[in-house]
Each structure stands twice: as C-alpha cells, then as structure tokens.
C-alpha cells in the first residue's frame, strides 16, 4: 500500500488498551459516587450526551493511559513518511483531544460531540464525507469497526481476534496487524488477587484457638466462610483497582496490574465485581446470620476505604488493621465460637503493625525513586521515620498482650502444659523484629501477610510456633 491516503485511527482498544468512556466513568464515581444517580438521566438523552456530561466533570491524564506501544511506533513511522493521521473515535471530543495533544501525531480529531455518537455507521459516514469512499485507511480493533472498513481503502487491525482479522480482510486489504497482549486465566487470577485469599485463612484462627479443627461441622462452616470472604474480597479488589487506575499507573509495581496495564478489559471488571459479590452473598446465606452481617460490614468498610479512607492519614492503616481483624470475627461468627478478648486485642495490634509495614514499604519505594509524596495517599516521604516508630511499637504491644494472656488463668483451661506456650513470646519477638528489619531494608515488596506465606524464615517461624502449641496441648 502506498502511504498517500489519510490514516484514520480508532482510540478505544486500538490506540490504547482501554476505553475512555469507562475510564472517565470510574474517575467520576471515584470523585463522587452520588453521580451514579445522574447517569440514567444523562443516558436518556443518548450515549453521546452521557459521554459529554461525564467528560465535563473529569480530566483524563493522557500520559498515564496504557498505549499500544508497537502500534504507536508504527504510527510514528507513518507520520515520518509525511502521512496525514486522524484520530477518529466514539469517545467525547474533550477527552479525545487530550489524548491527541499528548500523542502529538494527529492532524485532526473526529469524535462524539454530545449530539452524535461517532461509532460504527456514524463514523463510516463521517469519514466517507470527509475523505471519500475508499479514500482513507482505517485502524480499528472491534467488530463495530467493520462498518468503517467496508468503506476504507485498507484495514489495519489492532488488538483484534483472528475472526475479526478474517472479517476485516473480506472488506478491505489488510495493511498491517498488531496482535493483542497475552491474557487468559493467569491475568484474570491476578486481577482477582487469588494469592491474597491466603489472608482469609485468618477465618480459621478462632477454630484453631478453640481446638475444634477436628469437628467436621465447624470445619465445613469455616470453609464456606473462607470461600464467601474470598469471593467478596476479589469483588472489592476488582473495584478498588478500577477506581485507582491513575494512582496505580504512576506506581513502580502497581502499573503492571491487569486493569492499569490494559491487559484486562474494564468491562470485565464491571461485570465480574457484582457477580462475585452476589455469589459470596448466596454462600453466606447458608451460614449463621451473624456471619452475613460481618461480611456486609466488611464490604461496606472496604468500599469506604476504596472511595476515600485510603487517602486519610492514619485512618487508612487503622481501617486496614480492622479489615484484617474482621476476618477473625467472621470465623467466630460462622462457627458460633465465642470471641476471646485476648485474641481480638492481639489481632488489633499485630495487624496495625502490618498495615503500617505496607505504608512504610510504599514510602520507602517512593524515596528510592526520588518522589516526595505517595500518589493517591496522604503520606509524605518525610513521614517514614514516624511510621516506623508507630509500627514497631504496635507490633511489640501485640506481644505484650500475648504475654499477659499466657499469664492469665484462661491458659490453664486450654492447655495441659501451659508453660510450653511461653515459647510463642520469643518467637513473635523475633518475627516482628525481622519483618520490620526487612521492611527497613526495602525488601518488603508485597502485602506483609502474603510475604510471610512466601518467606522461608517466616514459614519456619510459624512451624516453630505450631510445634510449641502442639507440645502444650
């Protein structure tokens, strides 16, 4: 193909691995969830009007979007040949222009204007009107683009399926093909944070503490609670990642998350999040009502965390500590095991320490990159010393609570050889100290609980604690 015809480029799914309507919608509700009430009224006036109303209220950072890099490089080569490039998109003109300004390759922008949604046949009509039938080449990624390729001189298929490439080739000669990123079950599992389900093992703590792991009825209830909490947590992870796109894309490691990188469609997340929550609620209905109430409280608090609490200094780590602790409460609620005051106090302090570990690790990474403030958080790098002091103090307070419990009359009821349980104190002193030392050295690259399940020394420490408890029984 000669490079004389104008090259018209779709935006959503083609130039970027995302959709600006969904991006702007998520940004809007992250700013104020009450806008959800306005969406049906805007949509009554048409999709183009909906896009325009959302675009009025948000600003998309063109630099942070997940661009299709090989395709952009190809566009740069086409531009260097003197070719005319046009951005042609169903996204609103305001948002499309911000993307065009960042890319700096386009001679013009054709986009939805609040009255007409420039998609499918509407886009085809506009391009034929401007460039003539067969007077342009078109780059697209979706079956809706077939209406445009029917009138194009040549087709460029970007991030499209094999069937789409075949259909486009039947309408216009294929000039170039850019294959989509690898996806599949691994990407979905990463988005669901299946590895984070390990934290929900805290549900079994009340059962283990009550020495009832051998009770089949109790164990089945605990397993159902674990599954319900895991599905609910994955629902929250999906929602949180979608609401936190801008901050994640500026983070040194979170920018590789499936939604931030564009590996996974935002549409998948918007469908999967409520579906997982519904499935979790259906499982919860089998368990005592108390568990359902705890699960509902967990979801409400995590929503509050996603929409604002995570930006509030110290309140964010207190919330995280509470979300860890509530898993223990859920385990007790699912099995009708009375909660121990000592267990709750120990959990509150140890999880506060681990929540601060998480924030400290983020600030440490920011400092290494020369940044002064964590994006999307209320912390500054200069807070790092204070966080270390608060976190280590909280960790050692948890061990003090443990020591007081071991010296209480309750211990003699639970164990035949209660003095053996005293080994837990030095074991916990070592583990908390080591966790903070690793964090101080910049070696904490994951959630601290997940880190502990991967760390050989932490696993050996846990084994030593289990042996001490077994000997005490």
For 73-103, the pLDDT digits (tens) are: 999 999 999 999 999 999 999 999 999 999 9
In this structure, are residues 444 and 361 in contact, taking their beta carbons and an 8 Å threshold?
A: yes
Mean pLDDT within 39-49? 95
In this structure, are residues 348 and 202 in contact, taking their beta carbons and an 8 Å threshold?
A: no
- Given a cut of 80, whether residue 345 has pLDDT beyond it is yes
Report the alpha-carbon distance of residue 265 to residue 243 in Å, rounded. Answer: 14
Structure tokens at 371: 């940044």
**In Å, how far are 40, 349, 457 from 462, measured between CA atoms?**
53, 18, 9
Kindly report the length of the chain. 473
φ and ψ at 377, to 5 degrees?
A: -125, 170
The full set of domains in the chain, from first to last, is 7-178 (3.40.50.1000), 185-472 (1.10.600)
pLDDT of residue 392: 95
Res. 375 pLDDT band, cuts 50 70 90 = low
pLDDT of residue 277: 96
- Given a cut of 60, whether residue 374 has pLDDT beyond it is no
Report the alpha-carbon distance of residue 193 to residue 232 in Å, rounded. Answer: 11
In this structure, are residues 29 and 105 in contact, taking their beta carbons and an 8 Å threshold?
A: no
- Given a cut of 90, whether residue 395 has pLDDT beyond it is yes
* Global pTM value: 0.83
129-138, 378-387, 428-437, 446-455: range with lowest mean pLDDT:
446-455
Res. 3 pLDDT band, cuts 50 70 90 = low
CA dihedral 109, 113, 115, 121 (to 10 degrees): 30
């Amino acid at each position: 193909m000669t490079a004389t015809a104008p090259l018209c480029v779709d935006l959503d799914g083609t130039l970027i691995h995302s959709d600006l309507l969904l991006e702007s919608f998520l940004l809007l509700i992250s700013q104020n969830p009450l806008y959800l009430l306005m969406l049906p009224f805007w949509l009554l006036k048409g999709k183009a009007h909906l896009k325009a109303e959302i675009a009025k209220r948000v600003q998309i950072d063109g630099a942070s979007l997940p661009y299709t890099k090989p395709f952009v490089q190809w566009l740069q080569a086409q531009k260097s040949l003197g070719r005319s490039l046009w951005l042609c998109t169903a996204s609103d003109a305001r948002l499309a222009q911000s993307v065009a300004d960042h890319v700096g390759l386009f001679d013009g922008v054709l986009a939805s204007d609040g009255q007409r949604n420039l998609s499918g046949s509407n886009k085809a009509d506009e391009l034929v009107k401007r460039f003539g039938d067969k007077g342009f080449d078109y780059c697209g990624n979706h079956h809706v683009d077939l209406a445009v390729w029917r009138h194009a001189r040549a087709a460029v298929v970007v991030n499209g399926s094999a069937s789409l490439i075949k259909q486009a080739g039947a309408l216009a000669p294929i000039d170039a093909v850019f294959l989509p990123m690898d996806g599949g079950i691994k990407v979905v599992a990463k988005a669901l944070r299946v590895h984070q389900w390990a934290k929900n093992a805290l549900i079994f703590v009340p059962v283990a503490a009550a020495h009832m792991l051998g009770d089949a009825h109790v164990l089945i209830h605990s397993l159902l609670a674990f599954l319900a909490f895991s599905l609910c947590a994955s629902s929250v992870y999906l929602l949180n990642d979608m609401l936190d796109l801008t901050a994640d894309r500026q983070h040194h490691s979170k920018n590789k998350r499936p939604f931030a990188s564009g590996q996974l469609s935002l549409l998948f997340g918007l469908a999967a999040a409520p579906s997982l929550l519904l499935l979790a609620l259906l499982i919860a209905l089998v368990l005592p009502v108390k568990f359902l109430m705890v699960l509902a409280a967990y979801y409400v608090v995590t929503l509050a965390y996603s929409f604002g609490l995570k930006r509030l200094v110290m309140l964010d780590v207190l919330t995280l500590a509470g979300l860890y602790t509530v898993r223990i409460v859920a385990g007790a609620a699912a099995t009708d095991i009375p909660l121990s005051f000592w267990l709750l106090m120990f959990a509150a302090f140890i999880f506060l320490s681990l929540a601060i570990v998480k924030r400290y690790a983020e600030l440490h990474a920011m400092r290494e990159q020369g940044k002064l403030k964590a994006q999307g958080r209320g912390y500054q790098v200069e807070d790092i010393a204070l966080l270390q002091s608060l976190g280590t103090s909280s960790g050692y307070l948890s061990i003090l609570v443990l020591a007081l419990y071991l010296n209480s009359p309750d211990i003699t009821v639970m164990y035949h050889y209660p003095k053996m349980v005293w080994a837990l104190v030095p074991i916990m002193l070592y583990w908390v100290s080591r966790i903070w030392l690793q964090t101080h050295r910049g070696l904490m690259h994951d959630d601290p609980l997940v880190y502990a399940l991967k760390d050989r020394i932490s696993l050996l420490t846990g084994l030593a604690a289990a042996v001490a408890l077994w000997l005490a029984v």
